[in-house]
Amino acid sequence: MTDARFSRRRFLTIGGSAALLAAAGGLTAACGGGGSATGARSATAKVTYPSYIPTTLVKPDLPATPDGVLAGFYRFPDNPVTAFDTKPGEGLGEISVLTNMFNPVPPGVNSNAYWQQLNDRLGATLDITMVPEADYLAKLSTVIASGDLPDIMLLSARLANRADILTRLCADLSGLLSGDAVKAYPFLANIPTDSWATTGYGGGIYAIPIPRAIVGTIMFSRDDLIEERGLSKELSSYDDFLALAKGLTDASKNRWAFGNPKGVIAFVGSMLDVPNKWRVEGGKFVSELEVEGRKEAVARVAEMVKAGLFHPDSAGGKLNLRDLFGNGTIALTPDGYAAWDILADTYRVDVGGLVAPGGKHRGGTPAFAITAFKKADEDRVRRLLKVCDWLAAPLGTSEYMFRKFGAEGVHYTWKDGRPEPTALGKAEVKLPLEYIADAPHVLGPRAKERVDAQRAFQERVVPTVVRDPSAALYSDTAVNKNGVLTKIIDTAELDIVSGRKPISAWDTAVAEWRRQGGDQIRRDYETALAKGN
């Protein structure tokens, strides 16, 4: 999803980059030269990230682990704790926010009781400019170029010249968040260190993350279909995986193992020790595309396509994979970790996760994006952070319940131990607050069996997670040329797996990838890492 979304808008990113830089310069002057450009955009090693201090305010049924296994809840905690005894935004007046949204647009503040009550609870007027996710980067680039920055803005990982924008235009939060200073914001301190990686530049912290779990993508399996056919999902080798896929395929009944070659390449790659984007060997970066395992993964998937284990339309990339998974047309599908509940709830089928043989799991991106703040006096920034702290209050607090479900009796009622939105709740409680600041995700609250299954999966794979060593580093080329480079590789993969080209075409594509920007990205990262050291 992420790749497609960003590549569609790449032209805007590149087209706008010059203007963004110009705007950056102009604004710096306007701000009185407050933020000096750092030159070393990615010297992040000197950053002291905020300490990770898991909150003790709420006790989950299964606590989160330091390496990134999510906390689990079997039910909504009784009697939510009220974490704030004062209004966090008192004295701020109006807070302008620019963020994206995935939900349908909610009613405006004048006709939205939930929004009005939110303002009341915050003690400030939250003026949210919300933009559909697909258009967000265009809007963000334009607003930044115009110099009319909002108080709080969500910055996408694919925003061109992000380092310049952060260091020149945005408030330096280091003094307020580094190390134990974050204790002043207990729910920001509750965000694991992994998620903070992209917030640091030039020795400073310039944003807070919207946290996501390190587990990332899961190869979901229809466990009911696997059981029905007497197959096993315990894989000890690639051959086991192949046997499972063959056992799940029955073209005469319109049933196939897979619908998406790209996700399967990544899964097979993790069996073959393929790095997560990059691997560092003695200070040198090696791309996942350059290792033999990745090439072999493409070749193996091409064999599987040839053997008829993929849906006939899988090469088109337009399949509605979730529906096909739900109706049993395909039995294995890679998807984000949160899809576990969506798939199980929507289609009422047994969903499980497949663990790749070989003991490695490719980690996900531990932050959806980052939230930065317009330069202002320290007291205002401190208060804005307090508002974000309020917005990051976790499950089990009354702040969380209001944020997610609104006011009890008005926007939701309790049904079988779960909040059931009222008609008003469905219409009004759709503000994209989780893209301003959010608590780390948790497993559940759901039935114990579901949460236990998810937890067991995470406990198995998270200790073996292969993290992306470039996550905390920044490269202009990686951002600005993302679309071109992704297309080179995607096209080559598709050509090979669909049988249009032999596997030898892979080497040509990787050479092209290196020439068009891959080598430059490597140099950027190596320089950044060296400077940090």
Partner 1 sequence: MIVRSLKGVVLAACCAVVILPFLAVISTSLADQQQVTAAGGYVLWPSRPNLDAYRAILAGGVVTRALLVSVGITVVGTLLSLVCITLLAYSLSRPGSLLHRPILLTVLFTLLFAPGMIPMYLTIKQLGLLDSYWSLILPGLASGFQIIIMRAFFQEIPRELIDAARIDGAGELRVLLRIVLPLSRAVIAVVGLFNAVAYWNAFFNAMLYINDTEKWPLQLVLRTYVVDNSSLGVDAADLAGGFMPPAQSMQMAILVLSLVPIALVYPFLQKHFAKGILIGAVKG
Please give the residue ranges that form the binding site for partner 1 (CB under 8 A): 1-2, 4-5, 12, 15-16, 19, 101-108, 110-111, 129-135, 138-139, 141-142, 145-146, 148, 212, 320, 322-324, 326-327, 329, 335-339, 341-342, 345-347, 368, 395, 404-405, 412, 418-421, 423, 425-428, 434, 441, 445-446
Residue 451, helix vs strand vs coil: helix
With respect to partner 1, which residue has the nearer C-beta, 71 or 302? 71
- What's the one-letter identity of residue 12? L
The alpha-helical segments, DSSP class H, found in 406-464 are 423-428, 448-461
Long-range CB contacts (< 8 A, 24+ apart) of 271-277?
Answer: 271/238, 271/241, 271/297, 271/356, 271/357, 271/358, 271/360, 272/296, 272/297, 272/358, 273/358, 273/360, 274/362, 275/466, 275/469, 276/362, 276/363, 276/466, 276/467, 276/468, 276/469, 277/468, 277/469, 277/470
13, 135 in Cβ contact below 8 A?
no
The tokens describing 271, both together, are: 């069996």
Q: Which is nearer to partner 1, 114 or 201 (CB)?
A: 114
Residues linked to residue 50 through DSSP beta bridges, in sequence order: 179
Q: How many angstroms separate the CA atoms of 364 and 359, rounded?
A: 16
At 490, list the tokens.
């995607």
CB of 362 to partner 1, least distance (A): 15
Q: Kindly provide the b/e burial profile for residues 62-101, where b requires at least 16 CB atoms within 10 angstroms of the residue's own CB.
A: bebbeebbbbbbbebbeebeebbeebbbeebeebbbbbbb
Query: CA separation (Å) from 289 to 275, 277, 500, 519?
Result: 9, 8, 20, 12
Joined together, the tokens standing for residue 187 give 């729910």
Q: What is the DSSP letter of 374?
A: B
CB of 32 to partner 1, least distance (A): 22
CB nearer partner 1, residue 1 or residue 29: 1
User: What sections of 60-166 are H helices per DSSP?
Assistant: 113-122, 136-146, 162-164
Least Cβ distance, residue 524 to partner 1 (angstroms): 26
Contact (Cβ atoms closer than 8 angstroms) between residue 327 and residue 158: no
Cβ 444 to partner 1 shortest distance, Å:
8
**Shortest Å, Cβ 352 to partner 1:** 18
CB of 205 to partner 1, least distance (A): 23
3-state secondary structure of 72: strand
Please give the structure tokens belonging to residue 305: 């396509």
Q: C-alpha distances in angstroms, 18 versus 2, 140, 161?
A: 24, 14, 9
Least distance from C-beta 461 to partner 1, angstroms? 16
Structure tokens at 95: 């807070």
Among 197, 194, 242, which Cα is nearest to 216's?
194
Alpha-carbon span 402 to 404, nearest angstrom: 6
CB 319 → partner 1: shortest distance, Å?
Answer: 8
Closer residue to partner 1 in complex, CB, 70/496: 70
* Minimum distance from residue 133 beta carbon to partner 1 (Å): 6
Structure tokens belonging to residue 45: 């090693």
- In angstroms, what is the minimal distance from the CB of 141 to partner 1? 8
Residue closer to partner 1, measured from CB, 236 or 346: 346
Closest to partner 1 by CB, 199 or 217: 217
Closest approach of Cβ 190 to partner 1, in Å? 17
The distance of closest approach from Cβ of residue 468 to partner 1 in the complex, given in angstroms and rounded to an integer, is: 16
Closer residue to partner 1 (CB): 216 or 261: 216
Q: Which is nearer to partner 1, 29 or 423 (CB)?
A: 423
Question: Which residue, 445 or 518, has its beta carbon nearer to partner 1?
Answer: 445
Q: Residue 153 forms beta bridges with which residues? A: 98, 372
Residue of 519, 443, 478, 529 lying closest to 61 (CA atoms):
443
Q: Pick the closer one to partner 1 by CB: 101 or 529.
A: 101
Is 130 or 177 the residue whose CB approaches partner 1 more closely? 130
C-beta closer to partner 1: residue 139 or 487:
139
